A = this chain, B = another copy of it.
Amino acid sequence: MKLTILGCHSATPRTNTNPTSQVLEIKNHMFLIDCGEGTQVELRRNKVKFSRIKRVFISHLHGDHYFGLIGLVSTFQLLTRETELHIYGPKGIKDIILLQLKLSESWTSYSLVFHELTSKKSELIFEDDKVEVYTIPLKHRVYTNGFLFKEKENERKLDINAVLNANINVAYYRKLKQGADVENEDGVLIDNALVTKDPLPPKSYAFCSDTVYNEDIIPIIKNATVLYHESTFLDKNEDLCKRTKHSTARHAAIIAKKSNVENLILGHFSTRYNGYEEFENEAKEEFNNVLLAKDGRSFEF
């Protein structure tokens, strides 16, 4: 599982800070999460192949999280893309994109599929044989979702020597990987645990931005491999959180601790601060495994 941060700053883009956007590679998927202005250029800078992006998840309709989407949609069109593009985001996103396409008298060469979100409860919004994606309802000034990307339970691994010794027909290997006990060539029932090994534990990534401190998300993101949680402010500006519905680094870390996640990535930094060390320091007072997002930084888990 690889996460590439294209932008991790709040509010307005500047020459050296990009608004929110990231790419998650998980089980051969390449999910784009949020798409602030300039995302298409950052995708190029980070050498992400446009054609691999098939699903885009938009947390909310504040500009720093989606103003780059129409540009990306248009560029895909200019490049005569054929692969369909799925867009998951709050109700309204479809109108915004279609109005602009209509007024430019253009249409896309590929199919554009909108999945507009309105539920205030966590829901499964994408699933295939390898991965599930759930919404994480967040509390912000407008309707906002985080997203939980979960690998499905991996198949058990065959202990090939044990399998051969047990005299099991190759036709049953698939069943073994799925955890079933099977009969061998001599008609004896073989205990699955004797001929297979535990699979790698499934990984998961929880993206939570933007949100005020909200313990309601804990049951949803519980035990995640990685939590990206916004930390717009430091303790000294905690008074701004209530009005703006943002969090501090400490808030993010408390959520990480209470959710028992393995790693916490901090991001969505306000540009009012000069460095990022303080974000890390404050969070580490609450939680150990703290990482800092940075435009262009990749993480592998």
Contact = CB atoms under 8 A, between A and B. Distances in A.
Contacts of A41: 13-15, 38
Q: For the complex formed by this chain, how many copies does it contain in all?
A: 2
Given A37-B38, A104-B61, A12 B74 contact: yes
Contact of A99 (B38, B79, B96, B106): B96
A12 B63 contact: no
B74 A104 contact: no
Given A13-B71, A71-B67, A104 B62 contact: yes
A128 interface: no
Nearest to A11: B78
A142 B105 contact: yes
A236 interface: no
A40 B13 contact: yes
A104 B63 contact: yes
A106 B79 CA distance: 34
A218 interface: no
A95 interface: yes
Contacts of A105: 141-142
A100 interface: yes
A44 interface: yes
Interface of A: 11-15, 37-38, 40-41, 44-45, 61-63, 67-68, 70-71, 74-75, 78-79, 90, 92, 95-96, 99-100, 103-106, 141-142
Given A37-B40, A37-B71, 12 more contacts: A12-B40, A12-B71, A12-B74, A15-B44, A38-B38, A61-B103, A61-B104, A63-B70, A63-B100, A67-B67, A92-B99, A104-B142
7 contacts: A11-B78, A12-B75, A12-B79, A37-B68, A62-B104, A96-B100, A104-B142
